[in-house]
């Protein structure tokens, strides 16, 4: 296995791209040996879905596209990030019991911790940000 495997896709910031982002990640993980239906693959797809949905819903047209990138480092750590060009960082919104939204980042953080990983938000040189998870690889040769 290569020391670093990488795959990425650039998608338009439209609702249909959320599904495309999920399918892209599922395909990449399967190619790397983590089949669809594996618990970690399902959780990562859900996380990507939440992050892509955030871009589509909250960038107010200021990020016409977003990038989904997946990296596998030495078959030990996986990093999955969603990058957009909107300058506002995600924030936890107060979610009332009746509210249907505002919990996406809480869900992402919780699921990432359950996988034994960490969530990070980093600025891009273009003024946007990348929201990424870093988790142990659960595929062939992984520690999980």
What's the distance, CA 33 to chain centroid?
18
Q: Both tokens of residue 1?
A: 């296995």
Over residues 94-141, the pLDDT tens digits come to: 655 545 556 788 889 999 999 999 999 999 999 999 999 999 998 887
Q: How far apart are CA 126 and CA 113, in angstroms?
A: 29
Residue 94 has what pLDDT?
60
**Separation between Cα atoms, residue 138 and residue 42, nearest integer Å:** 12
From 23-37, 41-55, 76-90, 102-116, the region with the lowest mean pLDDT: 102-116
Residues 83 and 115: their CA atoms lie apart, in Å, by 21
pLDDT for the residue numbered 19: 97
Task: For 68-102, write each residue's pLDDT tens digit.
Answer: 999 999 889 999 999 999 998 887 666 555 455 56
pLDDT of 142 reads 66
Cβ pair 71, 117 in contact under 8 A: no
């Amino acid at each position: 296995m290569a020391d670093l495997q990488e795959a990425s896709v650039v998608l338009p910031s439209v609702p249909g791209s959320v599904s495309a982002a999920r399918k892209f990640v599922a395909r990449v993980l399967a190619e790397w040996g983590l089949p669809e239906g594996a618990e970690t693959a399902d959780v990562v797809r859900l996380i990507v879905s939440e992050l892509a949905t955030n871009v589509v819903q909250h960038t107010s047209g200021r990020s016409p596209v977003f990038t989904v990138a997946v990296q596998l480092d030495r078959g030990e750590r996986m990093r999955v990030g969603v990058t957009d060009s909107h300058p506002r960082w995600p924030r936890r919104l107060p979610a009332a019991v009746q509210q249907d939204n505002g919990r996406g980042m809480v869900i992402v953080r919780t699921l990432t911790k359950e996988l034994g990983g960490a969530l990070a938000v980093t600025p891009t040189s273009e003024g946007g940000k990348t929201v990424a998870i870093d988790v142990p690889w659960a595929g062939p040769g992984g520690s999980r």
